Structure 1
Amino acid sequence: MSRLEENILRGLNLIGYNGPLLQKTQLPVAIEGGPKNVEYTQLVNFLTNEIRTLLAIDEEVNAVTSPEDSVAFVMEITSFLKELNCPYTALTDGLVSDRLQNVSDRLLLLDYLITELMGARILQEKKPEKKIELKLQETPEGADMRLILQTLRFPKPPPNISITTLFQKLCPTIPIVLNKAGADIVGEGIFKGFLSEKQWEILGGIQKDLYHEYKIREGNVIDTIGRYHTIFSDRTKGKNELFEKIYHDKRKLLKVEPEIDMADLIAARTDLAIIEKTSNSSVRKNTRSQLQKVIIGQVPDRGGRTSEIAPPSPRNAPMATTVLWWRKRRIYTWGREYGWRSSIQRWL
């Protein structure tokens, strides 16, 4: 056995090969057969697959099942070596029928693949590991719970805690915090107590009705805005594009679907029951704007109120009766002279 064959056997032991060619008597026989020997091609297949896994090479080399497959094996190993940038031209150049036709080229192929596999494993060992970053998407409920825990200055709960246990520890703390903060911060709730299963169903029906009502109202308001947002005074001519841009930017933020759920209904405070008039001075001071002067304008006082009309004085009543009788008499006489007496009588 030559020194190169001994180096190949030593290299196969180092890389963890457990095939039949570890025996000193089997390796020379396989090398003598070359591409037509099944065990030789299986060894090449083992080495190339290991290199493919470490270096992400696309080409694949398959072992032969019969001597007739030797040509396909040579073509596959040639493509693999070219992708691996093999420096030995004797293994990649020339006619396909002339490659791997002598023992030295077959030993050179095994020695090259073994050394490349060792180098690939060393590089893989020294290569820094890729950190796998998992981006978890937080649900709205989870975000609310996180804000509650941060507000109450709770420590971070363990990952294996259940929702029931978390609420059991959380609920007794809320009244204590509210008592320290005072009732003016969040106000007093309208409902205090517990609901049965039937009451929850009734409350769900109320929430559904409110949802549909708010949806209709918001839809009507948005439709009205879209219908009349282009109607302005003559002073705004030439600014249509500016108004359209401003309108569309604001319109994107408007939603037809109300953002009101069961939690908002249960968390309603006592001030919700106070209904203020829209014309109340305390409300109007926050709703006045310059736009109302453009839309409504200043309306003059035309008078005509019944409370402002003075009745006729009693001393002028007989004179008014005399004037009315004189007018009737003149019309009657004029009608008789012209033959329209009956018509005038009917008219009177």
Structure 2
Amino acid sequence: MSPEDLDQADDMDGEDGGAQEILLREAAGLLRELGYTGPLSNEDDLLRSCESGAACQLFTSLCVWLVSELKSVSNLEDNVSPTEGPADSETFQLEMSGVISELHCPCTSLTSNNVTSRLLKPANCLQLIVFLSTELEAARLLKKSNVSTSEPVRHNEDVLYELRLLGKALDLPEISPDVPVTELMRDLENKITELSGMVQMSSPLFKAQLEPEQWETLQELHYSMLKEYECRMRMLVTRFDVTVQSFHWSERAQLKEKSMNEVYSPLRKSLRAESGITIPHLLAAREDYSRILHTCNATTCQKTRSAIQKMLMTGTVPDRGGRPNEIEPPMPTWEKRREGGGKSQHWGKRNKRKRT
């Protein structure tokens, strides 16, 4: 490993940023779904092993486990051998290059540049784990689909929950955990095709064909927008909490504090700072979403008008002032509020320093 490669690995924090955090979460989630229970199940341990890259035995052992699992459910020919120390890092990267080539990896960060310097950045190591995990997940699904449909298949609880929501939205019968995957997907596809012919849908809003580098850029933009949304939402929620707290200051509110909390607590718990919008939402959006409808037009107000909107203020609206540029010195005289009156305070002009 050359000094230039080490310097490149040290500079990875500023280059990857949000994309590395996204890859870390995705890699850890995929490993949990695949049933991995090794020493890198924790995100912190996984990141530390990726920082050392091919020189870390824990990282190479994880890759060996993924490749061996992949060979057991697919026709993969290439293989990688376990390493015994940093001296075997180059050999490991050469063997992993053959596996990646056989799987036709679309990630340019894993297929370009020098073979022995690809797994020096944590982002590239995480990208490799994500790629191998998705390939393993897909291979397992394909193997299950080739099994006889009479054999019952137990679905993951999270997947089953999402499928039940989908079935409820499509007005399908209750989905059983023992339904084979092929039969379930066929029923969903038929129902969606049937409903698509009955409802007029506009064209997709997003029609572009993106390259792997563009997908990575899109993920970074999505991560930045999630952070921006979370920051703004936390600010609004904090303002809301402070406003509600101010209502508890009065003596009457203190007597009704319990009943107020019973109404407020469920509403407050429903306010989440994290956004649930994902990239699949972008892919599913239609051209109708790009049309801006004014909420005050006549058509919309016919359906949304309430008694509050029908109230009109009569007479001239009072001018509350508050414009600093219209206030001229000297400032007005203020009088203390005391019983029997009190001395008034007069505010005079401040001495201005003469310019020389």
Structure possessing the higher relative contact order (Cα contacts under 8 Å, 6 or more residues apart): 2
**TM exceeding 0.5:** no
* Structure exhibiting the larger radius of gyration computed from Cα positions: 1
Scaled by the length of structure 1, what TM-score is found? 0.36
